[in-house]
Amino acid sequence: MRKSHIGLIAMLTAVTIVIAGCSRVGEDWKAAQAADTTEAYQDFLRQHPDSEFGVPAQERVKQLAEDRDWQAASKADTLDAYQQFVATHADGKWAQEARVRIENFQLTSGGQPPAGGATAALAPGAATSPGTMATPGMTATTVKPPSAPAASAAAPVTLKLAAKPTVKPAVKSAAKPAAKPAAKTTGGHYAQLGAFASKASAETAWHKLSGRFPAQLKSLQPHYAAASSHGKAVVRLQVALPSSQRVHDLCTELKKQSQACLPAG
């Protein structure tokens, strides 16, 4: 009886130690969750490396690091900052949003070459007007000026031909600018508020954002633009505004409150 009594006491002691150990692990895990910092989870992992909470603790450490890097990239708001973020967190929850912002930066920087294209487009126009811009480039090859009678005879003809084209382009150029402002007033400029995996997610985000920023967004209508980013389909949440200045003002206000906003074409 005495031996069985001693064995029972030993068994109860072992069970008590196990229960106490489990209780301590659980309490330490709850404390780490309450602190929700990288240091707290790392301390937990050092104290309980074989705990059942080891995997979620490591995942939370990784997520906190990504959130910290994302805040830094958003605060810098530069192309290099977003590219570095994607290189470090290629599969993170903010990676797709970072890629969308990279695309917007690239589109913005690529918006200046058309100015060079416009100047290049003037060259064919200059070559087709023999009475004005083409003459400087053709003085080296033209040998007709020495014949004065031919020049004087051709002068009335060139004046008549030049008179008709000058009237028609004037009417066309006046008509086109009149149509463009009308298009802009209907919302030809867009501000992008985010990119999502589906239209349903974008619609949910719009309801949250319009409720969070009623002063800035209550009078605007959402626009869901389907696109592809790095081979993956995305839906970009945008709002239409009448001018690029309005887009700039809206994004400035939203960024002050830590809400992503970028001009979109």
Concatenated DSSP letters of 148-208: HHHHHHHHHHHHHHHHHHHHHHHHHHHHHHHHHHHHHHTT-EEEEEEEESSHHHHHHHHHH
Indicate whether 238 belongs to any domain: yes
Mean pLDDT (the chain, rounded): 72
pLDDT number for residue 41: 93
pLDDT category of residue 13 using cuts at 50, 70 and 90: low
CATH of the domain at 221: 3.30.70.1070
Considering 76, 110, 127, which residue would you say is the last residue of a domain?
Answer: 76
The answer to whether residue 58 scores a pLDDT higher than 60 is yes
Indicate whether 220 belongs to any domain: yes
Q: What is the mean pLDDT of residues 94-110?
A: 74
pLDDT number for residue 113: 36
pLDDT category of residue 241 using cuts at 50, 70 and 90: very high
**C-alpha to C-alpha distances, 118 to 25, 60, 125, 129, 250, nearest whole angstrom:** 70, 53, 11, 17, 30
pLDDT category of residue 125 using cuts at 50, 70 and 90: very low
Indicate whether 143 belongs to any domain: no
Q: What are phi and psi of 84, to 5 degrees?
A: -65, -35
The crossing angle, in degrees rounded to 10, of helices 38-47 and 54-76 is 160
* 194, 240: one domain: yes
Indicate whether 97 belongs to any domain: no
Q: What is the mean pLDDT of residues 88-98?
A: 86
Residues 6 or more apart whose CB falls under 8 angstroms from that of 19 comprise: none
pLDDT category of residue 16 using cuts at 50, 70 and 90: low
Q: Is 54 helix (H, G, I), strand (E, B) or coil?
A: helix
CA dist 155 and 150 (Å) reads: 8
* 256, 233: one domain: yes
Indicate whether 237 belongs to any domain: yes
Q: What is the mean pLDDT of residues 13-41?
A: 81
CA dist 130 and 136 (Å) reads: 10
* Residue matched to tokens 């149509």: 179
pLDDT number for residue 61: 94
CA dist 104 and 236 (Å) reads: 11
* 172, 196: one domain: no
Q: Which helix (H) or strand (E) holds 234?
A: strand 232-241
pLDDT number for residue 75: 92
- In the chain, the number of structural domains is 3
DSSP result, 103-148: HHHHHHHTTSHHHHHHHHHHHHHHHH-TTTTHHHHHTTT---TT-H
Indicate whether 107 belongs to any domain: no
Q: What is the mean pLDDT of residues 102-123?
A: 48
Q: What is the mean pLDDT of residues 183-203?
A: 77
Q: What is the mean pLDDT of residues 123-128?
A: 37
Indicate whether 255 belongs to any domain: yes
* 180, 233: one domain: no
Considering 76, 96, 115, which residue would you say is the last residue of a domain?
Answer: 76
Q: Which two tokens stand for residue 172?
A: 């066309």
Indicate whether 119 belongs to any domain: no
Considering 131, 162, 185, which residue would you say is the last residue of a domain?
Answer: 185
**C-alpha to C-alpha distances, 124 to 121, 133, 134, 138, nearest whole angstrom:** 6, 10, 9, 14
Question: Which of the pair, 19 or 31, is modelled with greater confidence?
Answer: 31
% of the chain exceeding 90 in pLDDT: 31
* 232, 250: one domain: yes
Whether the CB-CB separation of 225 and 236 falls below 8 Å is answered with yes
Domain range for 60 is 2-76
* 179, 197: one domain: no
